[in-house]
Chains A and B, each alone.
Chain A
Amino acid sequence: ETGVTQSPTHLIKTRGQQVTLRCSSQSGHNTVSWYQQALGQGPQFIFQYYREEENGRGNFPPRFSGLQFPNYSSELNVNALELDDSALYLCASSSGASNEKLFFGSGTQLSVL
């Protein structure tokens, strides 16, 4: 059984660029949630994908978008990067869309210069 994997582990971008982060869910899981964690804070919910459909979204602007593929892996896309987007981006997979135990990957550390 493979765990949740995220790529890349680190990324440096400049303001205004676009970025794509990737997540492979744990085997047997059909749901992926994305979180943003700023330094010294708890993770903030961005959105969740369940069976390839968005199932809930946090307080993030539309330039944060996502996708889930038939194998349940997922992408997080961020357009027009801003300095405040610098954070650790965490992906969690679960076996269902609601009230399920979350399993996190190691995250992608994004720095926007």
Chain B
Amino acid sequence: GIQVEQSPPDLILQEGANSTLRCNFSDSVNNLQWFHQNPWGQLINLFYIPSGTKQNGRLSATTVATERYSLLYISSSQTTDSGVYFCAVGVSNAGKSTFGDGTTLTVKP
């Protein structure tokens, strides 16, 4: 099956810093989503982005499908951005999404 690798595994920032999280995948995909898992375990959908670039406030994402990677940018980070960020890809119409192991982000005040 498809492999999804996220980097870095852990990231520690000072409040106000910018960061880039990366997601590499091993095969062509039909969809790609970025999620933020908060300390209570809930996964919040940040972006549905099979290709191209999207922005939502301080967050933006870019997927280059032909090169099999996606990037999540966080600007002016806040302590509430802390948590685990996952990317998930779908490769068929069977409904399965394959998740990476996540990037754990800690933003210090």
Contacts and interface: CB of A to CB of B under 8 A. Distances in A.
Interface of A: 31, 33, 35, 40-45, 48, 50, 55-56, 58, 88, 90, 92, 97-107, 109
A56 B97 CA distance: 11
Contact of A55 (B40, B95, B97, B100): B95
Interface string B96-108: 1111111000000
Interface residues on B, range: 20 to 34
A48 B102 contact: no
Given A41-B101, A42-B86, A98 B45 contact: no
- Which 9 A-B residue pairs are closest in the complex by CB-CB distance? A42-B99, A56-B94, A98-B93, A48-B95, A104-B43, A99-B31, A101-B48, A56-B95, A45-B96
Contacts of A45: 96-98
17 contacts: A33-B95, A33-B97, A42-B4, A42-B99, A42-B100, A43-B99, A45-B97, A55-B95, A56-B94, A58-B96, A97-B93, A97-B95, A98-B30, A98-B94, A98-B95, A104-B44, A107-B42
